Amino acid sequence: MNVLLFGATGMVGQGVLRECLLDPRVGEVIAIGRGAPEITDPKLRSIVHPNLYDLDDVADDLAKADACFFCLGVSSVGMAPADYHKITYELTLSVAGLLADRHPGMTFVYVSGRGTDSTESGRVGWARIKGATENALLKLPLKAFMFRPGVIQPMHGATSKTRLYATMYAIAGPLLNMVRRFAPDWVVTTETVGRAMIAVAESGYPRPILESADIAEAGLL
């Protein structure tokens, strides 16, 4: 399969990209973003685009993919609700809407988060916005799957672009190993997330929303 990857330079995207390049089920990875991944590979094609809200000029290339792994996102910490909504909801739906128009039925895997509010009516702002994003994606003519990991442990050199988070992950690594062993419903690795995305793109999953334990299960396939 050919995979379209958004967010390849972020921590989760780095891990997903690694697994895609290693997996023989993936023929080509098209990574699109404002910057290109630092690595090169015969299976990797990078499209650097200044405005991800308007991809009409590369829509034909994007629609040739069999699946889209949307790993692009930001933390809501310190961000105005309107700005978080623009990046989390508007950008995601802009991309998904274009793909739904050009390639209906495409698999679209969205990295959401544990605690997402599907009712869109809870007290936590980021959870409402994530819930609205998920709900809107599930209404599109796509094979959409929502990944709701709890804590994602970076593996194989994947690092967060946020210095504080990168430091926290480095310090908490041994603890996360222990938690992941005894509580897989809370911690998954970037490796597992990548493998799970490929498995879901190839074979689907019994339900559209995958919590951490589901991601861990799918990552074994």
Provide the domain limits for residue 163. 2-218
Work out how many domains the chain is built from and give that number: 1
149: CATH: 3.40.50.720
**97 has pLDDT over 60:** yes
The tally of CA atoms less than 13 A away on the side-chain side of residue 201 is: 27
**179 has pLDDT over 90:** no
**178 has pLDDT over 80:** no
Q: How far is it, in rounded angstroms, from Cα 26 to Cα 15?
A: 15
Flag the least confident range among 9-23, 99-113, 175-189.
175-189
Write out the H or E segment, with its range, that includes residue 60: helix 59-62
> What is the pLDDT, as a whole number, of residue 124?
95
Closest CA to 192 of 165, 173, 211, 220: 220
pLDDT tens, residue by residue, 36-90: 999 999 999 999 999 999 999 999 889 889 999 999 988 888 889 999 999 999 9
Residue 61: strand, helix, or coil: helix
Q: Which three-class secondary structure string do you get for 104-169? A: CCCEEEEECCCCCCCCCCCCCHHHHHHHHHHHHHHHCCCEEEEEECCEEECCCCCCCCCHHHHHHH
63 and 97 Cβ atoms separated by less than 8 Å: no
pLDDT tens, residue by residue, 98-146: 999 999 999 999 999 999 999 999 999 999 999 999 999 999 999 999 9
**96 has pLDDT over 60:** yes
